Chains A and B, each alone.
Chain A
Amino acid sequence: METIVSIKPLLAVLVSLLVIPALISSSDKPNARESWTFLAGIITFLIVLSMLPVILQGKQIGLTLFEIVPGADIAFRVDGLGMLFALVASSLYIITSIYSIGYMRGLNEHGQTRFVCFFALAISATIGAAFSANLLTLYLFYEILSLATYPLVAHHQDERSKVSGRRYLIFILGTSIGLVLPAMIYCYHLTGTLEFSTAGIFADQLSKPAAIVLLLMFVFGFAKAGIMPFHSWLPAAMVAPTPVSALLHAVAVVKVGVFSIVRVMTGVFGIDLLAKYDLGIIVMIIASTTILLASCIALSQDELKRRLAYSTISQLSYIIFGVALLSPQGLLGGVIHIAMHAFGKITLFFCAGAIYVATGKKYISQMGGLGKKMPFTFAAFFIGSLGVIGLPPTGGFYSKWNLILGTLEAQQSIFMIVLLVSSFLNAFYFLPIVYQGFFGKSEEEVDGVPVKIKEANLCLVIPLMITAVISIVLFFYPTIFVNLINVGLGL
């Protein structure tokens, strides 16, 4: 495959990093600070976008920065998969930074400069992870992301965020140091390289038992993917301000986890080796368990953001499930769910935040009748729900469709049931919220008096409308993402 050497991947990573001094220096001029964030977001997105045509032609963009040990450099390589992820993350960053303005100012939050700085750092690390050429670089950005997110999770600096922050670190850092690090070094010890390649890095150094242990260490070790039993940091992390939950805990952070697992399965082990040792089925069982259990737990949550968190846990496992099918259709369905779920779920989080800012309500049981007051928000919530459930006319349908075809193609039709049951569960925990919102009754409502529309401020409503619309657009035009996956995985 042709590789073009270019500095663009580095620039895409550096932009959000270099803007941090500017953010700090304009800490007492909020408007200037927000413009910097916005500018950085747009530049990052444009740089990522400028690489798109080359990638779609089937080429790759590479850049080696530092040679640490032979076969494990700090290096970037942009391929279809990384491009897909970077596109999603960088485009949503722009939208989220508008949303953050509305949210943080709407609630008059403290420490806003610290917030935007670490947000920028987190985005920089996310892009870096997307463009990593090898496992070492990926691990590096994975860790930076973990650490950059801590101050965001603990933002409120009260007792509850302290406990949540602690849990967040124990799970994320504990697994990455305890499981991924030794597994990675062991891989390097066996093969002398950590470079991703579609054929995998192992020739025949790996016996089946060792392969199983290593794979499990990776799958559980990248705990950002929220595979049970290492999932409980995600609901805890919901104490963070909603823009964090929306972009980081529905898109960037969790998907870096999933992306890492996908990279390890497709780039380190290689589909062929996984198929040879029948390892797909093990991962599928783990993923299915998470899908179903998390959906069931989601049903019982009354706090909206926690329900969304459990829904995220279950949806993330769809992606891993799809890849573990090891069939072209399954891979396509799984990986494209990175994008489809991102737009759907971020819409839902945006809505949760908008409701909180406008009314102060966090619990689903308080939200009856709110749809009449906030029709746009609830309409967007409806679209987002459809996306997550996987119904047309949203992009979510496309990934579910391919996943189900993938189970047939891989002759694992039993697992199709998992997908169908989970879709039902999703519908059960999302649609009643919408129904109650539009047709239920709120406490303040008086019969016969029409409810006045009182939406949250525009900075909150516009982003959630945009992401909802994109969800629908993706149903009709998923082509770019499909092409990227085909290029990236050589399907």
Chain B
Amino acid sequence: MDNYPVLIVVVPLIAALLAGLAVWVEKRLSYPIALTGLALSTFCAVKVLMQVIATGPIQYKIAGWAPPMGIEYRIDLLNAMVLVIVSGIACLNLVASFESVSQETHDRTGAFYSIYCLFVTGLLGVTATGDLFNLYVLIEITSLSSYAMVALGDKDRGPLASLNYVFIGVIGASFYLLGVGYLYMQTGSLNMADVSLILAGHQGSSTVLTGFILCMVGLWIKMALFPLHVWLPNAYSYSPVAFSRAVAPLMTKVMIYVMIRLMITVFGYDYIFKTLHFSDAVVVLASIAILFGGVMALAQKNLKKMLAYIIVCEIGYMVGGAWMGNQLGMTGAILHILNDALMTFAVFLAVGNMVYKLKNVDLSNLTGIFGKMPWTMAGFVIAAFSIIGVPPTCGFFSKWYLIMAAFEKGAYHFAAALIISSLICAVLFFRVFEICFFPAVSPDHGELGHGESGHGELGHGKSDAHSPIQMEEAPVSMLIVSGLVSLSLIVVGLFSGTIVNTIILPFLK
């Protein structure tokens, strides 16, 4: 089948429409429609990835119109990989979402599934397209649907967070559109490959420079690179958890992908690292982003918000790697797109399970849940280890490449930022583990049974304080997805070498 590339995007779009329409016919139909759509899309994405690995990049002309006038989908190893990540995670998330969506959005489940599919359509389209303007349109589809999603969330704070997100999101999109306008002025084309060819002759042009900077700033706003991140923490923590689980791993990573796509395919290494001279400054900015994200995460009292700041920190990893200007850095950044998507997904899945049971995931509310939700916590622990960067989880290996790149470039501040952020993440997560591991101290009884553990006596007659705790786990579907994704962190980690050798290095060659 030659139509797989476009089916990846079109199937979820149709699913979105049908899921929306289904609300009037039979509410319960929305979920299976959405799930089928995303599952088919995942299937197509995997097919495309296998085809690209076997035979090289695929070009697909939408409706048969030839580029540069028509819209072209161009799938190479990089976006084939990102397509699989996006569709796979979106689909798995839906599997885990059934219970939590009906719990959180009550009578609006149809709206949720419909907008969710639209959101995924946008992300997939952004990833697949080879056209600069089409990219803008799809970014807006994604963004608009996420504004709506955030507004569906927390009754008090959701709408305000959404409004904030709308303002900043629109500004980001405008920057990008303006940048594309400048590029169009210079080149008269919107097709990426075409623009790239024409740009080769206009390296010194200030129009191109303006276009480049505007595009980058627009994307940085959309990916929440410090100091343009202010919209992210609230938007991600007040949206329905079923949506947080998808937006947190996917949205920012796809924007990173777009940045890398523009850097490599449109502007080219030579332009960015030889003609322009601010790549070092961006790496410094990335280092600051890493540290800032970590420190802000330390200050949070709510688990979801803490994780949102960790995303700000991780964005710094990828931006820094991409702008390092060497192959190791780019390898690390691309590998981290995969790893970070998986580990953020894993950690948010665990949080989703907690939210399902506890409603409120303020840190102080988590005491003793290792006993109540052991399976959820097992997933959480593995994901946390990956974020900290403990081998053999995947987070370690992308960090390895990034630190190597920093050493090779001599950007020791970036290496230091990575190490410090690992330490900060270790503190962050072990603080959470500690709260979850130690039982709550009940105010009436003081420290039950622990008082006498001092001198001499047999201070251990405290079996009553540890009477078997009742397990209160989340639904099985949520647990299975959470477990699978957490295991995948280890599997992907162990096969990092294979992934780098079959996908990333051939792409960078």
With a cutoff of 8 Å between Cβ atoms, the chain A residues found around residue B462 in the complex are 110
Query: In angstroms, how far is the closest chain B Cβ from the Cβ of A158?
Result: 4
Q: Given A74-B494, A189-B407, decide whether A173 and B426 contact each other with a Cβ distance below 8 A.
A: yes
Q: Which of A53-61, A160-168, A245-253, A473-481 contacts B (4 or more CB under 8 A)?
A: A160-168
Distance in angstroms between the alpha carbons of A178 and B423 in the assembled complex = 7
With a cutoff of 8 Å between Cβ atoms, the chain B residues found around residue A74 in the complex are 392, 494
Q: Given A159-B450, A165-B434, decide whether A68 and B407 contact each other with a Cβ distance below 8 A.
A: no
Query: In angstroms, how far is the closest chain A Cβ from the Cβ of B172?
Result: 34
Bitwise, A123-139 to B at CB < 8 A (1) or not (0) is: 00000000000001001
Closest to B451 in A: A158
Q: Given A158-B447, A181-B422, A189-B404, decide whether A143 and B390 contact each other with a Cβ distance below 8 A.
A: yes
Q: Is there an interface contact between B453 and A177, defined as CB atoms closer than 8 Å?
A: no
Q: Of residues A111, A143, A362, which shows the largest number of chain B Cβ atoms within 10 Å of its Cβ?
A: A143
Q: Is there an interface contact between A185 and B407, defined as CB atoms closer than 8 Å?
A: yes
For this complex, into which size category does the number of interface residues on chain A fall? 35 or more
Q: Of residues B407, B447, B498, which shows the largest number of chain A Cβ atoms within 10 Å of its Cβ?
A: B407
Closest to B385 in A: A147
Q: Is there an interface contact between B430 and A143, defined as CB atoms closer than 8 Å?
A: no
Q: Select A66's contact among B385, B422, B495, beta carbons within 8 Å.
A: B495
Query: In angstroms, how far is the closest chain A Cβ from the Cβ of B242?
Result: 30
Q: Is there an interface contact between A185 and B404, defined as CB atoms closer than 8 Å?
A: yes
With a cutoff of 8 Å between Cβ atoms, the chain A residues found around residue B437 in the complex are 151, 154, 157
Q: Given A156-B453, A189-B404, A366-B456, decide whether A169 and B391 contact each other with a Cβ distance below 8 A.
A: no
Bitwise, B442-460 to A at CB < 8 A (1) or not (0) is: 0000010010010111101
Distance in angstroms between the alpha carbons of A147 and B495 in the assembled complex = 22
Interface presence of A174 (CB below 8 A): yes
Distance in angstroms between the alpha carbons of A140 and B500 in the assembled complex = 20
Distance in angstroms between the alpha carbons of A182 and B391 in the assembled complex = 14
With a cutoff of 8 Å between Cβ atoms, the chain A residues found around residue B430 in the complex are 150, 166, 169, 173
Interface presence of A300 (CB below 8 A): no
Q: Is there an interface contact between A108 and B404, defined as CB atoms closer than 8 Å?
A: no
Q: Is there an interface contact between B463 and A110, defined as CB atoms closer than 8 Å?
A: yes
With a cutoff of 8 Å between Cβ atoms, the chain A residues found around residue B494 in the complex are 65-66, 68, 74
Q: Select B496's contact among A68, A111, A178, A188, beta carbons within 8 Å.
A: A68
Distance in angstroms between the alpha carbons of A364 and B450 in the assembled complex = 23
With a cutoff of 8 Å between Cβ atoms, the chain B residues found around residue A188 in the complex are 404
Interface presence of A2 (CB below 8 A): no
Q: Is there an interface contact between B450 and A158, defined as CB atoms closer than 8 Å?
A: yes
Query: In angstroms, how far is the closest chain B Cβ from the Cβ of A214?
Result: 13
Distance in angstroms between the alpha carbons of A110 and B465 in the assembled complex = 9
Q: List 20 additional A-B contacts (Cβ < 8 Å) besides A154-B437, A177-B422, A177-B426.
A: A66-B494, A67-B498, A107-B458, A108-B460, A108-B461, A110-B462, A110-B465, A139-B391, A140-B392, A143-B390, A158-B450, A173-B430, A174-B423, A181-B422, A182-B419, A185-B415, A186-B407, A188-B404, A189-B408, A360-B456
The residues of B with any CB-CB pair to A shorter than 8 Å are 385, 388-392, 397, 400, 403-404, 407-408, 415, 419, 422-423, 426, 430, 434, 437-439, 447, 450, 453, 455-458, 460-463, 465-466, 494-498, 500
> What are the 9 closest A-B residue pairs judged by CB atoms, nearest first?
A110-B466, A158-B450, A140-B391, A189-B407, A68-B497, A360-B458, A67-B497, A66-B494, A107-B460
